[in-house]
Amino acid sequence: MTLREAIDAVRFHRRLLAPAMAAVALAAGVVAGGVAMGDGLRGALAERTAARLGPITSAVIGPETGFREAFARNLAADLPGYVVPAYQRDGVLTPEGGGGRQVEVWGLDATVSQALRDPELLPPPGTVRMDAALATALKVKPGDRLVLRVSRPSALGRDVALSKEDDAIVGMSVEVGPLLASRWPADLSLRAGATPPDTVLVDLKWLQARLGVPSRVNRLLAAGGTAAHLLAEVKEHWDLPDVGLSVVQGAEPALATDRVLLDDDVTALAKGPGASAASVWFVDRIGHADLSLSYAFIAAVDTNDPGPAILDLLPPLDAGDIALNAWAAEQLDVRVGDTVSVRYPTFGSARELVWKDTSFVVAGIVPMEGAAVDPSWMPPIEGLAGRATCREWNPGLPVDAGRVTDADEAYWSTYGGTPKAWVSLDAARSRWASPLGLATTLRLQDVHAQKDHLAGAALRVRDALDPSRLGLQVVDVSALRASASKPANDFAGLFAGFQFVLLVTAFALAAMQSALVYERRADEIGVMRAVGWSSWRVLSAIGLESLLVIGAGALMGVPAGALIARGLTRGLQSVWSGAVAGAPVVVVIDVPRLLTASFLTALVAWVALVLMVVPLVRRPPRALLGGRREAAAPRGPAISAGVAVLALAGAVALALTAPRLGAAEAFFGVGALALVGGLAAVDALLRARGAPRRDGPMGGATRRPGRSLTVVGALASATFLVVGVGLGAGRAEEDPIVRWSGTGGYPLLAQTSLPMLHAMDDPAGAEAMGLPKGLFAPGSVLAMPRVDGDDASCRQLGSARAPTLLGVDPRRLAARGSFRFVDPPDHGWNALTEATDPTVIPVIGDDATVTWGLHLAKGDELTWIDGHGTSVRLRIVGVLSNTVLQGALLMDKAALEARFPGSRGARTFLLDVGSTQTATASAVLDRAFSDLGMSVVPTAERLHAFADVEDTYIAIFRALGALGLLLASAGMGLVLARTVEERQGELALARAIGFSSRTLRRRLVMEHVGLVALGLGLGIVSAVLAAWPVLTAPNAAPPVALLTGALVLAVVFALVALDRMAAASIDQVSWRVLARDRV
């Protein structure tokens, strides 16, 4: 047959071929639509990743108080691209009506405007810029006023007891500027994870002034250039002030730190020549008999190191000895040999200072001259350094101005912070050394005594140190970015599985419809064979003709796919918005890709069609000419029954032993086995019924078991997708009341910048903090101390991504039944307190944090530097299902406080107020704790924010399931059409003798209802099996109503498809068939 004739044939048979073409178009459209949605999803993820930090390739994270802007400028000059200096603090942004949110505040200067070529980007001082999403969440619009609360940066970190708390939070009234159009630069956070915190931009100078850090920045964002390049430049350009160190001139040059205690790395320099460690301590009083003096510095010097000039003036000092300066000796009226008492502070394991008393024997009195008068010994403590009089002192330590005498004032104005007493470093070590350290200064040797010896000493120190160990960290942004696009659950496999099920369904139906065409035209094949055409010749003729039809269908599949994807997306965003919470589902119409997908589907369908036509062509011609059909397959039900039993047993076994809940493999493994088993059972049933029966339900089904199976399978697969996703991804995960859910049964999550020292659910504590009586029942608040990860003091070795640590009371969580383990520890929550090895601390994290954030599993360890500066191993002993505490590892509270002394006092809270009271409670908390920088969010909202990638996937799964149902319903219609085709004569006769077409239609539909029921039933059973682990979890709450709705819809779908097809097919049955002699 020539192409011409093939075209003629297609044209002649257009009415017969149109449904086949439509079926191919639908199948190709479904696959192309799936591709469009998949591309959209990938695109959205990629866009999200790209938006993350925009063009930034690497960054420097500095200490809280920052580094010099000059350092930033020098770096910028040597780097390609541009370098944006920034000052970043965490803050809470509260609109007038309350409801503050935690934000990252970024102070940026004109560099960023230049870099982005957007002169309007930077807000004028006093305004904040945010993106529309944050504005919506805060319910504000440009021009509205907000309060921005930011904790004041402190060189000490609030880990250290010396930091001051009274004005720790700076409150600023700000105006909302024009909203940012795109995610970048609204997405500047350097934190890892799929859900970056909200970000606001402010003017750099304005922020620096408000926070009291003029000319300091703590972030550098570099666009262009690698992290390695940036690191090299940092090492080249850094200087001591950039890490809070300075060299001051005293009797010899002295290295001071604005953090009071020197880092271990710095102290270690004292082990070498040229530097000697000393610890200068602020003591509360020194007393002798009735006399005492208040507030003095005592310097502990290393008497074994000949460096510092003061040693020449000091007597030999044993651990119990002290040397007073002449002024102090006079005040206390002591002589050599007298005993003095000293009251001094130590850092306990808690935040509060612990005061201790000790005594020393006076070993010598140092005259007020030479090296003994040297204010350079005093550490640059905030609130002391630079104050003109003692009355202006305001350090983090309690200072009572009433105890300051005129003599003290005179000493301060004459000698400044010159130590009033001297002890040996060993004496200090045994008294006030803490895990945080001991040395406060290094006395450097002034060997050369050159003119610029100070600079020389500084240079020597600088060269000996590694800035990246002192708080100047270089972060590779591309690694961070990669972590941002990782959804907390790996749905990629699931997505592929879904698309595959859909593809198989689509193509089975397309092939079935096309094959129907040629079965209808069997007599034509018979004629060709009868007049001597070889089977190959016949096949190629059919192949050519069907290629035209299927090709046309494939072409139509592209617009069909676009329409399907668009329609579904719209549906998702409107009809199902409740279920998907408006998760952004976009569609990418990439015509070449859709064409490819469409044509591949068509090609597969075409190959399947040809394979289905081969046996037809091979049949003896007379059988074809006579319109004689094959008899029912002779095979008995035994084989099918065997397959059914095996597959179903396998499915049950796999469901019961599925190692991890919701894993894609287990889900599809169980589902596929159950489907296969069920289909085999149906097949066995149909075969067991033997000879076809014409009436009643299943009458049409037993007639052609293969065809019925195809469509039952399609319907079952689609139902499986819809129900399986519904059950497996139920939103019960987010139910704020359900305790096993990710909320832990706590509706509210509160976080503060400063620790709360009282318990909110203790009546006395609540009263002390001014909370209304009975707001929180005892035991309803889980207050957790927190060690922030992922920030400037990044503690996890070898990685820029450190999780936050939270201290929890394991018994509390165990008793409450909060959260759900996907990989439970051996003894549940108690595993946190069962430390077998003192150097290993057990921790528990959620799936998102452990598996996807850290790429670890239960049993793995990570290494941290604890608050004592020693390295500890954190062993993951259990993995929770996703929780509202994503990004954190949970540790026993007592262990956390012991290991991280500065963490004392809770900063993260889970609050149970009963679901009805959440609004009231969050308003009360907002007001009561704004000075702690508290932000309160509903846990459900928080979880939702974590899950938006997953939500997008689930939304698409629902869409694919719906598509599957659509296809399967269409397939149902096709089966009916073929039944009608085969029984034309019967039906024509029925009409001829007066059956109304309505009656016939109803009978036909009824015959196929059994298939619909089978398909749905099989799909539901398979889905229940596949989702078994989730369903059997404690207090599982599958969304039954939603699913019932979906299934009712599916039944209606299928019935309508059947009815329409019955009506259309019956209309085509003509009396002519009666006139035809079919042998």
Q: Site residues (CB under 8 A) for another protein?
A: 1-2, 5, 8-9, 11-13, 523-524, 526-537, 618, 620-623, 625, 1076-1077, 1079
Site track for ligand ADP across 812-841, x = CB under 6 A: ------------------------------
Nearer to another protein, 8 or 1067 (CB): 8
User: What is the closest distance, in whole angstroms, from the C-beta atom of residue 523 to another protein in the complex?
Assistant: 6
Which of ligand ADP, another protein, none binds 533 (CB below 5-8 Å, type-dependent)? another protein
The C-alpha atoms of residue 264 and residue 314 are separated, in whole angstroms, by: 27
The C-alpha atoms of residue 919 and residue 911 are separated, in whole angstroms, by: 12
The C-alpha atoms of residue 380 and residue 395 are separated, in whole angstroms, by: 11
The C-alpha atoms of residue 805 and residue 789 are separated, in whole angstroms, by: 7
User: What is the closest distance, in whole angstroms, from the C-beta atom of residue 521 to ligand ADP in the complex?
Assistant: 19
Which of ligand ADP, another protein, none binds 873 (CB below 5-8 Å, type-dependent)? none
Nearer to ligand ADP, 435 or 626 (CB): 626
Q: Is residue 985 a contact residue for ligand ADP (CB under 6 A)?
A: no
Single-letter amino acid, residue 909: F
CB atoms within 10 A of CB 540: 15
Which of another protein, ligand ADP, none binds 694 (CB below 5-8 Å, type-dependent)? none
CB 804 within 8 A of CB 846: no
CB 500 within 8 A of CB 723: no
DSSP per residue over 308-360, as a string? SGGGGTSPP--TTEEEEEHHHHHHHT--TT-EEEEEEEEE-SSSSEEEEEEEE
User: What is the closest distance, in whole angstroms, from the C-beta atom of residue 634 to another protein in the complex?
Assistant: 12
Single-letter amino acid, residue 1077: D
User: What is the closest distance, in whole angstroms, from the C-beta atom of residue 630 to ligand ADP in the complex?
Assistant: 12
Nearer to another protein, 337 or 532 (CB): 532
Size of the site for ligand ADP (CB under 6 A): 3
Which of ligand ADP, another protein, none binds 526 (CB below 5-8 Å, type-dependent)? another protein
Nearer to ligand ADP, 904 or 983 (CB): 983
Nearer to ligand ADP, 388 or 1079 (CB): 1079
Peptide bond into 185 cis (omega under 30): yes
Which of another protein, ligand ADP, none binds 1060 (CB below 5-8 Å, type-dependent)? none
3-state secondary structure of 144: coil
Instruction: Give the rounded distance of the alpha carbon of 437 from its chain centre.
Output: 36
Which of another protein, ligand ADP, none binds 536 (CB below 5-8 Å, type-dependent)? another protein
User: What is the closest distance, in whole angstroms, from the C-beta atom of residue 633 to another protein in the complex?
Assistant: 15
User: In this structure, what token pair is assigned to residue 211?
Assistant: 């926070």
Q: Is residue 1079 a contact residue for ligand ADP (CB under 6 A)?
A: yes
Alpha helices in 831-917 (DSSP H): 847, 893-899
Residues 384-443 that bind ligand ADP (CB under 6 A): none
Nearer to another protein, 528 or 609 (CB): 528
Q: Is residue 626 a contact residue for ligand ADP (CB under 6 A)?
A: yes
The C-alpha atoms of residue 25 and residue 37 are separated, in whole angstroms, by: 17
CB 693 within 8 A of CB 699: yes
Nearer to another protein, 409 or 524 (CB): 524
The C-alpha atoms of residue 879 and residue 822 are separated, in whole angstroms, by: 6
Nearer to ligand ADP, 619 or 628 (CB): 628
CA angle 698, 699, 701 (to 5 degrees): 55
Which of another protein, ligand ADP, none binds 824 (CB below 5-8 Å, type-dependent)? none
Own/partner contacts of 702-707, CB < 8 Å, gap of 24 or more, are 702/632, 703/632, 703/979, 703/982, 704/975, 704/978, 704/979, 705/632, 705/633, 706/633, 707/512, 707/975, 707/978
Query: What interhelical angle do 522-530 and 535-573 show, nearest 10?
Result: 160
Nearer to another protein, 523 or 941 (CB): 523
User: What is the closest distance, in whole angstroms, from the C-beta atom of residue 733 to another protein in the complex?
Assistant: 59
Nearer to ligand ADP, 522 or 748 (CB): 522
Nearer to another protein, 40 or 526 (CB): 526
User: What is the closest distance, in whole angstroms, from the C-beta atom of residue 710 to another protein in the complex?
Assistant: 27
User: What is the closest distance, in whole angstroms, from the C-beta atom of residue 505 to another protein in the complex?
Assistant: 32
DSSP state of 772: P
Nearer to ligand ADP, 1056 or 1074 (CB): 1074
Residues 851-890 that bind ligand ADP (CB under 6 A): none
Nearer to ligand ADP, 471 or 621 (CB): 621
Site track for ligand ADP across 690-729, x = CB under 6 A: ----------------------------------------
The C-alpha atoms of residue 443 and residue 274 are separated, in whole angstroms, by: 8
Nearer to ligand ADP, 388 or 691 (CB): 691
> Radius of gyration of the chain from Cα atoms?
39
The C-alpha atoms of residue 311 and residue 377 are separated, in whole angstroms, by: 13
User: What is the closest distance, in whole angstroms, from the C-beta atom of residue 1024 to another protein in the complex?
Assistant: 45
Nearer to another protein, 9 or 661 (CB): 9
User: What is the closest distance, in whole angstroms, from the C-beta atom of residue 985 to another protein in the complex?
Assistant: 14
In degrees to the nearest 10, what's the CA dihedral of 641, 645, 650, 652? 130
Residues 627-656 that bind ligand ADP (CB under 6 A): 628
Which of ligand ADP, another protein, none binds 12 (CB below 5-8 Å, type-dependent)? another protein
User: What is the closest distance, in whole angstroms, from the C-beta atom of residue 527 to another protein in the complex?
Assistant: 5
The C-alpha atoms of residue 691 and residue 708 are separated, in whole angstroms, by: 15
User: What is the closest distance, in whole angstroms, from the C-beta atom of residue 619 to ligand ADP in the complex?
Assistant: 12
Nearer to another protein, 622 or 998 (CB): 622
- How do strand 840-846 and strand 871-880 relate by DSSP bridges? parallel
The C-alpha atoms of residue 40 and residue 588 are separated, in whole angstroms, by: 5
Closest CA to 204 of 147, 135, 122: 122
User: What is the closest distance, in whole angstroms, from the C-beta atom of residue 1068 to another protein in the complex?
Assistant: 15
Give strand pairing partners of 89.
Answer: 105
3-state secondary structure of 874: strand
Which of another protein, ligand ADP, none binds 618 (CB below 5-8 Å, type-dependent)? another protein
Question: Is the alpha carbon torsion for 834, 434, 787, 933 positive or negative?
Answer: positive
Which of another protein, ligand ADP, none binds 13 (CB below 5-8 Å, type-dependent)? another protein
Q: Is residue 619 a contact residue for ligand ADP (CB under 6 A)?
A: no
CB 368 within 8 A of CB 415: yes
DSSP state of 437: B
User: In this structure, what token pair is assigned to residue 182?
Assistant: 């795109």
User: What is the closest distance, in whole angstroms, from the C-beta atom of residue 17 to another protein in the complex?
Assistant: 11
Which of another protein, ligand ADP, none binds 528 (CB below 5-8 Å, type-dependent)? another protein
Q: How many residues does the chain have?
A: 1079
User: What is the closest distance, in whole angstroms, from the C-beta atom of residue 623 to ligand ADP in the complex?
Assistant: 7
Nearer to another protein, 373 or 625 (CB): 625
The C-alpha atoms of residue 603 and residue 599 are separated, in whole angstroms, by: 6
Residues 1039-1078 that bind ligand ADP (CB under 6 A): none
User: What is the closest distance, in whole angstroms, from the C-beta atom of residue 636 to ligand ADP in the complex?
Assistant: 24
The C-alpha atoms of residue 717 and residue 724 are separated, in whole angstroms, by: 10
- The greatest distance separating any two alpha carbons of the chain, rounded to the nearest whole angstrom, comes to 138
- How do strand 473-476 and strand 56-61 relate by DSSP bridges? antiparallel
User: What is the closest distance, in whole angstroms, from the C-beta atom of residue 1061 to another protein in the complex?
Assistant: 24
3-state secondary structure of 612: helix
CB atoms within 10 A of CB 590: 15
Which of ligand ADP, another protein, none binds 529 (CB below 5-8 Å, type-dependent)? another protein
| Binding positions for ligand ADP, rule: CB under 6 A | 626, 628, 1079
